[in-house]
Chain A
Amino acid sequence: MTSTATRPEAPGTPVVPVPPPAPDGRSGIAGLLELPGNAVRVVVRSAATTPGRLSVIAVGLVLLALIAGLVATVSVQNKKDTINGLIDHREPLAAAAQEVYRSLSDADATAASAFLSTGTEPRELRQRYEQAIAQAGAALAKAASDSAGVANAAEKVDILSQQLPVYTGLIETARANNRLGYPAGASYLREGSELLRAKVLPAAQDLYRIDTDRLAQEQDDATGFPWLATLLMLALLAALIVTQVYLTRRTNRLLNVGLVVASVSVVVALLWGTVALVVQGSLVASGQDNGTHQVDVLVRARIAALQARADETLTLVARGDGAPYEADFKQLAGQLGGPDGKGGLLSEAQGLADGQGPAGQIDAAIQDASAWFKAHTLVRVNDDRGDYQDAVDLAIKENDKGTAAATFLSLDRNLLAAINIGRQQFLDDTHDANGALTLLAPGLAVLSVIALAGATMGIRERLREYR
C-alpha cells in the first residue's frame, strides 16, 4: 500500500479531517462553495488505500456507464424521432408545397385552355380547374401549418394565401364576362394569369424549394453517425478492460465475472448499435437518392411541362401577340427535354432511375414529351400560316390522338405515376430505416444498466475481500 507516492498532491497535502461546520457562524453559501473541494479531498484520501481506490473506480465506472448509456439511448431515440419526422412530417410537407406549386400551374394552363374552347365551357376542363384550385387550397393549408418558425416560408405562405382567392375571383369574373360574350372576359383572364405568373407562382416555387431543402437537410441529419455516444461507449469499454487488467494484477484472479458481463454487454451494445445505425443510414440515404431526390427532379419536370402548356395555350389566346409566351415555351421545353430532346430534367430523371423504380414511366414520359413537342410545332405552323382554328383544335382537343392536348395529358399522367413510385420508394426505405432501429434505444438502455450492475457487483465482490 505505497501507491500514495504516485499521487502528486498526496505528500504535500496535510491530511486534515474536514472540520465540522461551526455551530454558529459560516454562512450557508460559503459552506456550499466548499463542498466540491471537500469532495475532492475525500476522494483523494480514499484513493490512498486499495479498497478506497476500488470504490473510486466503481463510482467512476457507474458514472461513465450512466452517461454513456443515457447519451446513446437519447441519441438513438432522437434519430428514430428524426426518421419518424421525415415520414410523418417533412416529406408530406415537401409534397404539399409541390402540390401548391403544381396545382396552381395546372389551374393557369387549364383556365387558358377553357378560354380557347368556344361555346359552352367543356365540362372536363372546368372540373380539372376546380380540382386544381381545391388541391392548391388544401395543400396550402398543410404547408402553412409548419411555416410559423421559418420566416422565409411564412412570408411565401402569406403571399399565397392572400393572392389565391384574388386569382380565383378574377377567373370567375372572366367566366361571367365570357358567358355574356364580352371581350372584357379575356382581359380578366390575362390579368389573372399575370397575377399568377408575377406573384403567386414565384412564391409557390420558393416555398417548394424551402421545404425540399429542409427535407434534404433532415435526411442528412438522419444519416449522420452518433459519434459522441460511440466514443463514450468505447471509453466505457476501455475503462472496463483497464479495470479488469488492474484487478487481475492486484488479485491474481484471471476473471471478474461482473466486469466480464459488463464488458460483454458494452460490446454487444456497440456491435448492435453500429450495425443498426449503418443499415439505417444507408436506407435513409437510399430513400433520399431513389426517393426524394428523384421525386424532386420529376416534380420540376412536371411543373416545367405544365407551365409550358400554359404558354402554348396563352400564345393562342394572345392570337398573334404571343411571341413572349412562345419564347417562354421554348425555354421551358429546353429545361424539360433538353435543346435536342435528349437532355434536360427528363433524362436526368432517367439517369437517376437507372432502369429501376419509375424507369418505365419516365421512358414513356420522354416519348410523350417528344410527341408533344412535335404536335406543338404543328400548332405553331398552323397558327403562323393563318389556320387559327386548326391550330386551336390541335392544341386543345383532348380526345383526338396525337394532339398537343392528348400528348401533354399523357406526359402529365406518366410523370405523376413516376412521382408516386419515387415517393413510395422514399417511404419504403425510410420505413425500413426506422425498422432497423427497432428496440435499439431501450436495448441500449438495458445493456447500459447491465454494464453498470456488472461493474458494481464485480468490484463489490473484490471489496468484500478487504473486510
Chain B
Amino acid sequence: MKMRRDSVRLGVLAVVAMLAAACGDAGKPVDPAPIGSVQPPQPAHVGGADPSKGGGGTADTSCDPKASLSPNGVGLTGFSAASTMGKIKQRGKLVAGVDQTNFLFGFRNPTTGNLEGFDIDMVKQVAKAIFGSDEGRVQYRAIPSSQRENVLKDHQVDIVVRTFSITCDRKKRLGFSSVYYVAGQRILVDGNSQVKQLSDLSGKRVCATATSTSLTKIATDPSKPVPVSVDNWSDCLVMLQQGQVDAVSTDDVILAGMAAQDPTLKIVGDRFTEENYGIAVPIENDDMVRYVNAVLEGVRNGPWQASYKQWLGSRLPEASPPQATYQ
C-alpha cells in the first residue's frame, strides 16, 4: 500500500516537472531602451598633436629670439605717409588679431561686449601712438591660435597680439617686436589631483591650443603625455571641466585666467619653459617692427605696470616689464 502511494507521488512529481519544462524559461527582463555608450559633447575641431605645423619649434636655438630691430631714431608721430603706419592712419583703423577667449589677456567681457585684457591694452597703446587716441580706431579680429601666422601672411591684420611666443622658427616667417611679457609653461589640474609636474602626466590627456608652443612641448615630452588640441584656450577649460582631459598645460598667465574662472582648479609645478611674448607683424614690415618697439619703450615706463596691476596683480606676484634687447 505504501509503495503504491509512493509511486503515485513520484508520478505527480514527474508530471509537474514535465509541465515546468514545457513552459520554458521566463528569461530575463529586457532593457526597454538600451543606449550603449554615452558620448559627452566636446568643442569643435578637437584633435591631437600636429607635428607638421611644428608649433613654435622651441628646440630651435639658432638665434636669439628676444633680439628685435632697434627703435633708435623712430619718432612716434613722424612717420611718412608711405610707411606701413602711414597707410594704417590713412585707412583710419588699426586691424589687430587678438584672442577673445583668454581671460585676463584677451577676452570678451560679456557684460559690456568689449574686448579686454593685457594684450588688448598693448593693441590700444599702438593705436594710440598712431592715431593719437585708440577710441574707435581698432578693428579687432578674434583668431584661433592656429590662424596667427596665416592672417599676417595674408595681410588680413596689421598686428597680432595674442600671447604669441617669439621663436627662431616663427621669426623666419614673421616680424616680431621686442619682448613685452615673459611667461612660462605650467600645469593646471583638478584641485584633488596629485600631479606636480609634466612627468606625472605620462599617458594622460593634456590640452593645449593647436599650433601653440605649449602643444609642441607636450607632444615632445619624454614622459609621453597624450596631447589634445583645440581652437581656443577656453575650450581647454571646458574640456577640463567636463573631465575629458586630465590637465591643461600652457603659459602660467593663461592658466591663471582659467583658474580665475573655476576655483576648483589649481596650478601646479614650476615653470618649465620660457615664453617671450612679442607683437607680430608681416615679415616685410620692418618699419612697423621698429615703430612698435618704440611704442613698447614708452609702455615699459608706466602703462605696463598699470595693465599688470589691473589684470594680473591680484593673481600673480609683483613683476616689472622685461628689458628689451635689440640686434
Contact = CB atoms under 8 A, between A and B. Distances in A.
Nearest to A118: B113
B40 to A, nearest CB: 8
A187 B143 contact: no
A186 B261 contact: no
B101 interface: yes
A320 B143 contact: yes
Nearest to A163: B41
A187 B43 contact: yes
A220 interface: no
B118 interface: no
Contact of A183 (B43, B144, B234): B234
Contacts of A118: 110-113
Interface string B2-24: 00000000000000000000000
Interface residues of B, number: 39
A321 B147 contact: yes
A49 interface: no
B141 interface: yes
Given A118-B113, A195-B41, A183 B138 contact: no
B1 interface: no
A188 B142 contact: no
Interface string B119-158: 0000000000000000000111111100100000000000
B108 interface: yes
B44 A388 contact: no
Contacts of A181: 109-111
Contacts of B138: 386
Interface string A365-380: 0000000000000000
Contacts of B44: 190-191, 194, 198
B308 to A, nearest CB: 20
**For the complex, would chain A's binding face be called helix, strand, loop or mixed by DSSP majority?**
helix
Interface residues of A, number: 37
B93 A386 contact: yes
A186 B41 contact: no
Given A170-B41, A386-B93, A183 B107 contact: yes
A116 interface: yes
Contact of B101 (A115, A183, A392): A183
A420 interface: no
Interface of B: 33, 35, 38, 40-44, 93, 95, 97, 100-103, 107-113, 138-144, 147, 232, 234-235, 237-238, 241, 258, 261-262
15 contacts: A117-B113, A158-B35, A167-B41, A177-B261, A181-B111, A183-B100, A183-B108, A184-B234, A186-B101, A187-B43, A191-B42, A319-B100, A319-B142, A385-B93, A388-B139
Interface of A: 115-119, 158, 162, 166-167, 170, 177-188, 190-192, 194-195, 198, 318-321, 385-386, 388-389, 392
Given A115-B110, A187-B234, 16 more contacts: A118-B111, A118-B112, A119-B112, A158-B35, A162-B38, A166-B40, A184-B258, A186-B100, A186-B101, A186-B234, A187-B232, A191-B42, A319-B108, A320-B97, A386-B95, A389-B113
